[in-house]
Chain A
Amino acid sequence: MAAKKLSLKDKYALLTRDLDWEFSYEERKEAFPFEEFEGIKITDWSKWEDPFRLTMDAYWKYQAEKEKKLYAIFDAFAQNNGQLNVTDPRYVNAIKIFLTAISPQEYQAHQGFAHVGRQYGGVGARVACQMQSLDELRHVQTQVHAMSQYNKYFDGFQNWSQMQDRLWYLSVPVSFFHDARSAGPFEFLVAIGFSFEYVLTNLLFVPFMSGAAYNGDMATVTFGFSAQSDEARHMTLGLEVIKFLLEQHEDNVPIVQKWIDKWFWRGTRLLTVVAMMMDYMLPNKVMSWKEAWGMYFEEAGGALFKDLARYGIRMPKFADQIEKEKEHASHQAWWTFYTYGQAAGFHTWIPTDEELDWLSEKYPETFDKYYRPRWEYAKQLEAEGKRFYNGTLLQLCSTCQLPLMFTEMDDPTLISQRETHYHGEHYHFCSDGCKEIFEEEPEKYVQSWLPVHQIYQGNCGGPDLPGILEFCGINVGNDNLDIKGSPDEQRWKQWKGVA
């Protein structure tokens, strides 16, 4: 007689909850030593519910199917010289940022979930973290694999691993994950599972990936959407984590709120680079950063916080500041990278006239007033043969590690700078948000490895710029500088048969 098919709920109960065991000769506290020190109180782990009720057997089945689809497309992309179908060679520089700044963080997320997945007393949470850890490993592998095709034809892809350890702007994402991974297990879940996955990764993996498709990059959109299909599960886990923590004990509410405040601000800073990728690096535009922000942060995030209000959770602190920044962040970031294009692992450029018009249209309040005149001036300098590069190193923020490149939002002509003093040392910050985060845990952040400080201390090659860039893994003269006159541009013209 054929066995009766189990319902999803029964299967989940048997293959997840039922895998747990009681501790007979070891104290439970000894088995889960990190569960209490953050102050989070869990009274009943059995209340943990995975809404997708995914079990390991179903997980393997569907992930294998996703992989088969994905690799069929990678093969087709490579066999048909898909790299020639992208809009223009400028686009590929966004993918260089993806490989160096984002893919290595998938690996950190994999390590982080593998670690915390061991630390929870509840078996449902452990299984969910195990799946997420495997997902994240899949993401880094598929991304590296997809972009290996570009590495055969374009500069800047060859040393992503060394770059992520050493290159100045890449310490921003690296330190974000170091911060989360060195926190306790519950803070890690709120940071990555909730703040990052639920609201912020959507901005990278949905509108940016749709943009990749619109720019002819079949490989990137496919790995992006394949990864994001896992993220849909991660987001659901992230929301479940928050609801679970808030329902377990009222003392958890202020702790969780503080983590939400911290990690929304950290995440917003991290996404500055995505803002610039969307507004400046996609030759064919799907939507502006401001529009994407409105849809995925303000609308989707707003709905989420309305839903969480019943637990006593409010919008993240600095949400007002974040709202103002959507008008400025991408412009301030691209200008910074343009003017430091000699020290970046990708090419930069002045937007075309059509692109400047598009930016004027999308940012009517700010672009013509504050940013267009800079580009007009940069064009004039370039025409005179004096392409502008900034020759001094930037002061970095001691929390987010971005340069102090943001302005006061109420006065976009004034650079925002904050400072604090701790044990006789001065620390600089880009914003009130970053300053507060530092002051909350100074012993953590005084240990930051700030690239500019390390350069000045002589720990990063040098002392001249080419020596520093070589230390970072940059092929000087090929990977960096303006797209105009670059080997990337010359090869593209040859392939396309244009002079």
Chain B
Amino acid sequence: MSKVYIALQDNDVSRYIVEAIEEDNPEVTIIHNPAMIRIEAEGHLVVKRETVEEKLGRDWDLQELHLNLITLGGNVDEDDDRLSLTWNV
């Protein structure tokens, strides 16, 4: 299975998004590079609004992800509650 990935700017909001991603996707690998955090997973990764809100302690619109996003890889599917990245093979 190929790896999907998402990279976020290393800042105070991303720290909570990364915590949420780790909680919802226990198998992920987290790589710290200067100024950025890269998160990889085999085949599938999901960012859930509810978990991020819990970590941040405030409402969080999933589209706010764009403010801290650097790049991603995989087929994207997004609705109000979750963004998922997938490779099928």
Give a binary string over A231-253; 1 marks a CB under 8 Å from any B CB, 0 the rest.
11101100100000000000000
From 158 to 203 in chain A, residues with beta carbon under 8 angstroms from any chain B beta carbon are 202
Q: Mark A39-65, 1 if CB is under 8 A from B, else 0.
A: 000000000000111100010001001
Cβ of A53: which chain B residues have Cβ within 8 Å of it? Answer: 78-79
Contact: B63 with A62, CB < 8 Å?
A: yes
Given A7-B80, A206-B36, A303-B3, A51–B75 Cβ distance below 8 Å?
yes
Total chain B interface residues with beta-carbon distance under 8 A: 31
Interface contact B70-A206, CB-CB below 8 Å: yes
Please encode chain B, from 34 to 58, with 1 for each CB lying within 8 Å of some chain A CB and 0 for all others: 1110000000000000000000000
Contact between B80 and A206, CB atoms less than 8 A apart: no
A303 touches B2 (CB 8 A): yes
Within 8 Å CB of A7, what residues of B?
79-80
Contact in complex: A307, B88 (CB < 8 Å):
yes
Most buried by A among B4, B7, B73, B74: B73
296-322 of chain A: CB within 8 A of chain B: 299-300, 302-304, 306-307, 309-310
Which residues on A sit within 8 Å (CB–CB) of B33?
A: 207, 210, 286
- Cβ–Cβ contact B34 & A300, under 8 A: no
Within the complex, the shortest CB–CB distance from A368 to chain B, in Å, comes to 28
Question: What is the bound-complex CA distance between A231 and B73, given in angstroms?
Answer: 11
Complex CA gap A231/B77 in Å reads 16
Nearest chain B CB to A429's CB is how many angstroms away? 32
Q: What class of interface size applies to chain A in its complex with B? A: 35 or more
* B29 contacts partner chain A, Cβ-Cβ < 8 Å: no
Interface of A is mostly: helix
Contact indicator B66/A231 (Cβ below 8 Å): no
* A residues less than 8 Å from B34 (CB atoms): 210-211, 213-214, 221, 286
Whether the pair A213, B76 counts as a contact (CB closer than 8 A) is no
A307 touches B63 (CB 8 A): no
- Residue from B72, B77, B88 whose CB has the most chain A CB atoms within 10 Å: B72
Is B69's beta carbon under 8 Å from chain A? Answer: yes
Closest-by-CB residue of A relative to B79 is A8
Residues of A within 8 A of B4 (CB): 303
Residues of B within 8 A of A233 (CB): 66
Q: Please name the residue on chain A nearest to B66 by beta carbon.
A: A62
Shortest B58–chain A CB gap in Å is 15
Q: Mark A219-239, 1 if CB is under 8 A from B, else 0.
A: 001000100110111011001
- Interchain CA distance A434-B39 in the complex, whole Å: 36
Is A66 touching B67 in the complex (CB atoms < 8 A)? yes
The residues of A that contact B73 with a CB separation of less than 8 Å are 235, 300, 303-304
Q: How far is the CA of A381 from the CA of B3 in the complex (A)?
A: 48
Minimal Cβ-Cβ distance residue in A for B33: A210
Inter-chain contacts of B80 with A (CB < 8 A):
7-8
Q: Tell whether, in the assembled complex, residue A206 and residue B88 are in contact, meaning their CB atoms are under 8 Å apart.
A: no
Chain A residues in the interface with B (C-beta under 8 A) = 7-9, 51-54, 58, 62, 65-66, 69, 202, 205-207, 209-211, 213-214, 221, 225, 228-229, 231-233, 235-236, 239, 286, 299-300, 302-304, 306-307, 309-310
What are 21 A-B interface contacts by the 8 Å CB criterion? Answer: A8-B63, A8-B80, A51-B75, A69-B67, A206-B7, A206-B36, A210-B33, A214-B34, A214-B35, A228-B71, A229-B66, A229-B70, A232-B66, A232-B70, A232-B72, A236-B76, A239-B76, A286-B34, A299-B3, A300-B5, A303-B73
